[in-house]
Amino acid sequence: MAKADDLGHHDLSALRSAVSAGEPLNQEVIEIFQRHFDLTIRDGYGQTESTLLIGSLKDAPVRIGSMGQSITPGLIEIVNEEGQLVPAGEVGDIAVHKDMPALFRAYYQDEGRKEANQRGDYFVTGDRARKDEEGYFWFEGRSDDIIISSGYTIGPFEVEEALMKHDSVKECAVVASPDEIRGNVVKAFVVLRDESLASPELARELQNHVKAWTAPYKYPRKIEFVADLPKTNSGKIRRIELRELEKRVNTTMSNFEQTFEKSLEQYAELVVKVGVNIQKGQDLLVTAPIETLEFTRLIVQKAYAAGAKYVQVDFEDDDITRSRFQHGSDDSFDYYPAWKAEMMEKFAEAGGATLTIKVPDPELYKGINSDNVSRATKAAAHARRGYSKYTRNHEISWCLIKAPTKAWANKVFADIPEEDRINVMWETIFKMNRVDGGDAVQNWKKHLDTLNAMSDLLNKKNYKSLHYRAPGTDLKIELVNNHIWGGGGGENKQGVYTVANMPTEEVFTMPKRSGVNGFVSSTMPLNLNGQLVDQMRITFKDGQVVAFTAASGEEHLKNLFVTDEGARYLGEVALVPHDSPISNLNRIFYNTGIDENASCHLAVGSAYPFNMKDGTTMSNEELLKHECNVSLTHVDFMIGSAELDIDGELQDGTVEPVFRKGNWAF
């Protein structure tokens, strides 16, 4: 009633006295009734096992927030665990002396229960309170409601009272939430006057609000906004339900954590043993976002356990990367350190393996001059071309993997509560990498066998060309002579089988550089080095891009196509059925390494020489002569959908369906 907006319309003039029982009233409610109705609500305290024990009798002074004084002085006290009286102001158990006339004699059919609650000459009620020097009792909570956190004793009522002083709070309940470090922490279940206000920002505001009204250590470290609170028929909040709920949630979380730790171990082992397939005595270079520190440490442990001789870790940070484009000099965007490029090339020359956790923030360069980003990308690609030769020709072991970062998870899972996004992203990454049950390494071996079988089938088909048709797409792509389909993984020149991208669902090959004609439309946004490009339409003539548009990010697309001449030609054709594990998640990940494995895709820029017979033995000039595209860049973009049809033209001119409605036709 105290929270009603139209309180002034109620007429309580006939009411002479008001008493509260069951639970202490928040001070705010008492003050509202005093202000609106000139009524002083008097709190009282009693028990089924006895009678009224504590109260503010009529005409006795009322202390707002206090239950009042003992109605039988000397028979109601505050005692400690030994049944001894505690000093004024100290919290203890409310106790009834055995000589209290109205005290019951026994519990029905439970004779031992009364003795269990006796301490010396006193019967403890199960409630906690303190008594001041004038004999006024101040309620702290039920004994099982009291929260012990890091050794501090915290009564829920004081925290609830502070929360109720906030204008947004309609009602609340505070309970203990199990915590591995503190034993318990304070958790508040809050019902808002306006549910639409619920947000992480309001939760922080409420936490600071409580700190301002109580000792700072009492603030609720956890706040959950709820529609209502569980109550008895008489309207009393059932904290026991909330406590049990927290225990169940924490048990579930504990089980989740155990499962998570196991999955994380499997994932780290998978990328080391299957992805980069580290060999004994081999060096490993790991490049990772600083946010993935814990996972990176696990990878390093697994790498050394697998026999790595030395593991070097280079951490990256999006804020530091962005700072370059916010504050760097203009000439810095055309610069890439020669020492770094030389180091990478020498590392590859020595047979080192590289493992990269690649998760660029989809909005990293929002508001940044795209020309400067393009210049820096081109400078890096040019400087690293010596190293790129080793990866492009599959001369070394290299692997790209994914791990959650806050910015990425917030973009992908904006539709779920913020506090759940990282965990859900991890679960999704585990699932798409087949780490959600059983032996992940064996799961991958079976998966790779499936992709290799499809590659073998396509190599036997030896298509001359592929013709793509879908809304916004009518594109014919000739395949290079002696092309080779690959998928999943493959042997590098060192004879080591690796998987370059995890996850992977694709089979891919090399298009003929001058043999692409028609137009194609993208079906997913492209995260182009931290810049989003969406709804692209690209037209090709004799292999070259001759026109392009984009609903957003068109300037980034333009910068891509001027990287070099090869950036305007295709370098890869990849097939992925629409009915596949990642596609069936029905979510855009704004990460090409994942999105390309949910959709058929093409890539502009450099081709992979290993997709053509003897290609890895050819110079760039020889590759171009054999219609293999050469470029400093390689960018995949997604074109698959449930409406995509692909026809394959065999060498004898026969045409047969390859894809129908987005899926394999054979």
Question: DSSP letters of 540-572?
Answer: EETTEEEEEEEEE-HHHHHHHHTS-GGGGBEEE
Residue 326 included in any domain: yes
Question: How far is C-alpha 473 from the chain's CA centre?
Answer: 35
262 and 130 both lie in a single domain: no
CA count, 13 A, side-chain hemisphere, 97:
13
Inter-residue contact 83 to 56 (CB < 8 Å): no
Q: Which of 593, 615, 612 is nearest to 399 (CA)?
A: 593
502 and 376 both lie in a single domain: no
The single residue listed with the structure tokens 């990308």 is: 377
Residue 159 included in any domain: yes
Average pLDDT of each block of 10 consecutive residues along the chain (666 residues)?
65 81 66 79 82 83 84 90 92 90 79 79 88 90 80 86 93 88 89 90 94 93 91 77 82 65 93 97 97 96 98 96 95 96 96 93 88 93 93 93 95 88 93 86 92 96 98 98 94 93 96 98 90 95 98 94 96 96 92 92 96 95 97 95 97 98 95
Inter-residue contact 313 to 293 (CB < 8 Å): no
252: left (phi over 0), alpha (psi -120 to 50) or beta: alpha
Helices of type H across 487-567: 554-561
496 and 605 both lie in a single domain: yes
Helices of type H across 214-291: 239-270
Tokens of 570: 């295709």
Inter-residue contact 393 to 493 (CB < 8 Å): yes
Number of H helices, E strands in the chain: 16, 34
306 Cβ contact list (under 8 Å, min separation 6): 272, 273, 278, 280
* H or E element at residue 171: strand 169-179
Residue 452 included in any domain: yes
Q: How many domains does the chain have?
A: 4
Tokens of 177: 């939430």
137 and 151 both lie in a single domain: no
Residue 569 included in any domain: yes
The single residue listed with the structure tokens 């990772």 is: 288
Question: How far is C-alpha 639 from the chain's CA centre?
Answer: 27
Inter-residue contact 68 to 55 (CB < 8 Å): yes
Q: What is the DSSP string of 328-363?
A: S-GGGGG---HHHHHHHHHHHHTT-EEEEE----TT
d(CA 74, CA 47): 17
Beta strand pairing status for 532-541 and 490-491?
unpaired
Amino acid at 551: A
Tokens of 530: 């931290």
d(CA 53, CA 552): 72
228 and 275 both lie in a single domain: no
Rg of the chain over CA atoms, in angstroms? 35
C-alpha distances (whole Å) from 194 to each of 167, 220, 227, 509 are 10, 20, 10, 57
289 and 411 both lie in a single domain: yes
Query: Counting Cβ atoms within 10 Å, is residue 326 exposed (0-12), middle (13-18) or buried (19+)?
Result: exposed
200 and 70 both lie in a single domain: no
d(CA 524, CA 533): 9
Residue 414 included in any domain: yes
Inter-residue contact 117 to 82 (CB < 8 Å): no
End-to-end CA distance of the chain: 69
Inter-residue contact 600 to 640 (CB < 8 Å): yes
Q: What share of the chain is helix, strand, coil (3-state, %, to 5)?
A: 35, 30, 35
Tokens of 279: 């060999």
Inter-residue contact 62 to 40 (CB < 8 Å): yes
641 and 535 both lie in a single domain: yes
The single residue listed with the structure tokens 């006057």 is: 193
Inter-residue contact 606 to 566 (CB < 8 Å): yes
448 and 551 both lie in a single domain: yes
Q: Which of 421, 409, 364, 418 is nearest to 201 (CA)?
A: 418
- Tell me: cis bond preceding 503? Omega within 30 of 0 counts: yes
Inter-residue contact 478 to 607 (CB < 8 Å): no
The distance between the two most distant Cα atoms of the chain, rounded to a whole number of Å, is 108
457 and 588 both lie in a single domain: yes
Residue 74 included in any domain: yes
Residue 290 included in any domain: yes
426 and 447 both lie in a single domain: no
CA count, 13 A, side-chain hemisphere, 81:
0
C-alpha distances (whole Å) from 457 to each of 460, 463, 604, 654, 666 are 5, 11, 25, 17, 10
CATH of the domain at 366: 3.40.1830.10
* H or E element at residue 400: strand 398-401
517 and 454 both lie in a single domain: yes
Neighbours of 193 (CB within 10 A): 13
Tokens of 83: 């049944």
Inter-residue contact 338 to 382 (CB < 8 Å): no
d(CA 440, CA 267): 8
CATH of the domain at 129: 2.30.38.10
Q: Which domain holds residue 480?
A: 440-664
CATH of the domain at 174: 3.30.300.30
d(CA 206, CA 529): 39
Residue 2 included in any domain: no
Inter-residue contact 388 to 380 (CB < 8 Å): no
- Residue 249: φ, ψ to 5°: -60, -45
Tokens of 263: 């999955």
Tokens of 567: 């950036």
Inter-residue contact 373 to 530 (CB < 8 Å): yes
The single residue listed with the structure tokens 């369906």 is: 657
d(CA 55, CA 21): 10
d(CA 125, CA 143): 9
Q: What is the DSSP string of 239-256?
A: HHHHHHHHHHHHHHHHHH
Task: Decide which of 117, 141, 165 is a domain's last residue.
Answer: 141
Q: What is the pLDDT of residue 222?
A: 92
Inter-residue contact 213 to 221 (CB < 8 Å): no
Whether pTM exceeds 0.75: no
